[in-house]
A and B are shown apart, each in its own frame.
Chain A
Amino acid sequence: MAPTLTFPKGGVHPPESKKLTENLAVEVMPLPAELEIILGQHIGAPCAATVAKRAEVSEGDLIGEVSKGLGVPLHAPASGKVKAVGNSGHPVRVSAPSVTITVDQEAPDKQYQPRDWQNDTSQELLKRVHDAGIIGIGGAGFPTHVKLKPPSDNPVDTLLLNGAECEPYITADHRAMLEMAPEIVEGAKILLKILGITNCVIGIENNKPDAIKMMTDAANGTAGDGFSITVQPLEVKYPQGSEKQLIQAITGRKVPAMALPSAVGVVVHNVSTTKAVYDAVVLEKPLVEKVVTISGKGINRPANLLVKVGTKLIDIVEFCGGVKPDLSRVVMGGPMMGFAVSDLNIPISKTTSSVLFLTDEEIDANPLSACIRCGWCLDACPMGLEPKEIGVFVEGNRAEDTEQFGVFECFECGSCAYVCPAKRPLVQFVRLAKMKAKRS
């Protein structure tokens, strides 16, 4: 096995807690009675609904479109009838415009036939990726086709596939790599063709030796196609899966501040996104479902579920046997960067990789005290910032002066707050500082 790599600065080792779900095969969740699809799935302007109330839709039909900007279209995850075009709960924005579909349980499953993509030009492939509504599944949900069109003055030479999955609990990518390795590698080839390059490295943290093996085998199977696809084991360290950290770990290149990875000739995609690209191009299937890890000590039956986009948490809870009485917090996303939700009527979006049901014992809601100047947050920060100072400035009502400490470089990984013995909510301070500093 190749030596494991990691990023140089900071990082923390939270308990992994992946045992709960890492050996559970992906289950297909039965269709719920109702789906609520949020129109703004990604950064930028939300889609405008293209269907009206009471319209009949079948799986894969277009239900939302964006006329300007970076957006991608939105598709009906299942056949049924549009019940309403209104608003849904949202983990961050509280409420967001959405389309509600009453699912027709009788409708036959849509069949997808694989097709040959080798003869498509890269423009056609790119269009298919865009039309299938693919966005970065792992993280912020940046539209994938935009990342595949790097600015022409920065030639890209390497495609990185992110299989690090450094957040505790989440095993969705892990299961995807185990169960869909050939599809992911095929997807990688499509991405390489679109970018017009041949070099691809798949980064996987070495707490997933089985995934490393599966992916290595699948990648070796493609030898001779003119592509060079290799697997690179990575040290287990949070936030290994963050774009800049991953690039530095694997290629040794440092992405400058405020720049995109393409500035150093790299494009990063998540392995699950790559699988979605495969679906879009080979099966002509839009992004309407995804693997979500349901975990935490507060749910009766942890699982890796294949769910339709728009499935509400409440339906998932019901399918997973209900919650335990000591449930305390429900988090969409990982325990480090995810968002706590206040009720269960919130739908899954394309970017939700996990839903965690955490008990009192797992979360930490201790009150904060003053900073004791221990400096541990400085050691933990992978960007080399001074979270301590940002916190002190925000508390002192001088949030707009925090730019000198690099607040805008902070990607809110939470390493600093994780180690802080004074339990200071440093990420919250940073968010506040960003808002205020932008305004001034």
Chain B
Amino acid sequence: MKELKMYQQPLHRDTGMLDVGSGPHLRIGDGLSTVHQRWLIALLPALLGSLYLFGFASLRVFGLTLLFALFFDLLAEKFAPSRDLSSNWSTVVLAIIFSFMLPVNAPWWLIGVGCFFMIIVGKKLFGGVGAYPAHPAALSIAILQLSWPARMDHTDALKGMDWQITLIEPLRLLKSIGSSAQEQYQLLDLFLGRQAAGSAEGLVFLILIGGLFLLFIREIQWQLPIGFLVGLMGSSFLFNLYDPNTFGSPLFYLLSGGTLFMGLFLITDHTTSPVNRTPMFIYGFIAGILLILIRGYSKHVDGIVFAVLLANLCSPLLDMMKPKVEGVENE
């Protein structure tokens, strides 16, 4: 019976006891940081493309954004620690998403102010990942666009570029001279990212690759981008019929500015999008229509962030549409 004693208490290395816990004892993945890292991978193609195209200018924007965002995140964690262990990773993702929509010549203070609003106000004050009601990056860009419209002008930012294309944001030209503006642009150019837009949001092709990756690994659900696509294409088609002078063609809307970036990276954000499948579709659909309305009738040029913020507001309402649970009386 001597050996028996040896097994009597198989000692755990650290605690000296057997570990207990509620099932399931198996879990998949390494937690939230994996989720954020996947988003980073998906953002990578466009990020590299931007570095290739704009070189140091976009490196500066990405670097400064990351620095400011992480600084504010660490500061906030210091004064109000959250239980979100992956907070830094989510901040990195938000920072990259934010910087994609900045003009490449954004001054450092603009980036600093933007990061403050994004991290401190948009993310932390509302309770961090899982709790914020509006997409922090979209919120912050919206604030910047309203406060310093001249600084958020992508046409101005790309003045010095030597591209053999019209160096005006397609949607800006559309707004000022009406739908004849479309003749100034090749759809293929737009698709390949040869258009005046933020540091990376306009790299349609590369954004698409990243988004398809997210869809493929089921990180995001297809209902969101497809709903968005249907809403966008459908409404722009109808508006185009109704007022062909003001509204461009559906494809033109789809390929210019940050449309695809919004459909694949902004409205698909886990925290702000609905959790059920049908509401997801409706949410994407609403976002698509809102985008066209904003582009057509407001003074904002691109308007993706406003469409995102407005759609965010619908999300809690949409989530009240629940699948019917068997055996529970839903009144």
Q: Which of B7, B12, B26, B273 is in CB contact (< 8 Å) with A344? A: B7
Known: A406-B328, A409-B328. A417 touches B24 (CB 8 A): yes
Interface of B, secondary structure class, is loop
User: How big is chain B's contact interface, by range?
Assistant: 35 or more
Interfacial chain B residues near A427, Cβ < 8 Å: 22-24
Interfacial chain A residues near B274, Cβ < 8 Å: 375
Q: How many A residues face the partner with a CB closer than 8 A?
A: 71
Q: Mark A171-205, 1 if CB is under 8 A from B, else 0.
A: 00000000000000000000000000000000000
Stretch of A21-29, A215-223, A224-232, A332-340 with 4 or more beta carbons under 8 angstroms from chain B: A332-340
Stretch of B44-52, B128-136, B168-176, B295-303 with 4 or more beta carbons under 8 angstroms from chain A: B128-136
Instruction: Establish whether residues B326 and A257, one from each chain, have CB atoms under 8 Å apart when the complex forms.
Output: yes
Interfacial chain B residues near A371, Cβ < 8 Å: 130
Interface of A, secondary structure class, is loop
Known: A329-B20, A336-B25, A338-B25. A422 touches B130 (CB 8 A): yes
Question: Which residue of chain B is the closest to A388 with respect to CB atoms?
Answer: B275
How far is it, in angstroms, between the C-alpha of A3 and the C-alpha of B271 when the chains are bound? 40
Q: Which of B84, B276, B330 is in CB contact (< 8 Å) with A378? A: B276
Stretch of A36-44, A115-123, A356-364 with 4 or more beta carbons under 8 angstroms from chain B: A356-364
Q: How far is the CB of B131 from chain A (nearest CB, A)?
A: 7
Cβ of A111 under 8 Å from chain B: no
Q: Mark A392-404, 1 if CB is under 8 A from B, else 0.
A: 0000000000011
Interfacial chain B residues near A336, Cβ < 8 Å: 23-26
How far is it, in angstroms, between the C-alpha of A415 and the C-alpha of B129 when the chains are bound? 23
Cβ of A20 under 8 Å from chain B: no
Q: Which of B19-45 contact A (CB under 8 A)?
A: 19-32, 34-35
Cβ of B6 under 8 Å from chain A: yes
Instruction: Establish whether residues A404 and B83, one from each chain, have CB atoms under 8 Å apart when the complex forms.
Output: no
Interfacial chain A residues near B276, Cβ < 8 Å: 375, 378
Instruction: Establish whether residues A314 and B7, one from each chain, have CB atoms under 8 Å apart when the complex forms.
Output: yes
Q: Which of B7, B20, B23 is in CB contact (< 8 Å) with A337? A: B23
| Partner-B contacts on A (CB < 8 A) | 12, 14-15, 168, 256-258, 314, 317-318, 322-323, 325-331, 335-344, 356, 358, 362-375, 378, 383-386, 388, 403-406, 408-409, 412, 414-415, 417-423, 425, 427-428, 431
Could you jot down 17 A-B contacts, CB within 8 Å? A256-B326, A323-B7, A327-B10, A327-B18, A328-B18, A336-B24, A340-B18, A370-B84, A372-B32, A372-B270, A375-B277, A378-B275, A405-B325, A409-B326, A420-B27, A421-B34, A422-B130
**Which 3 A-B pairs have CB atoms at the shortest separation, nearest pair first?**
A257-B327, A414-B24, A406-B325
| Partner-A contacts on B (CB < 8 A) | 3-4, 6-10, 12-13, 17-32, 34-35, 83-86, 127-131, 221, 270-271, 273-277, 280, 322-323, 325-328, 330
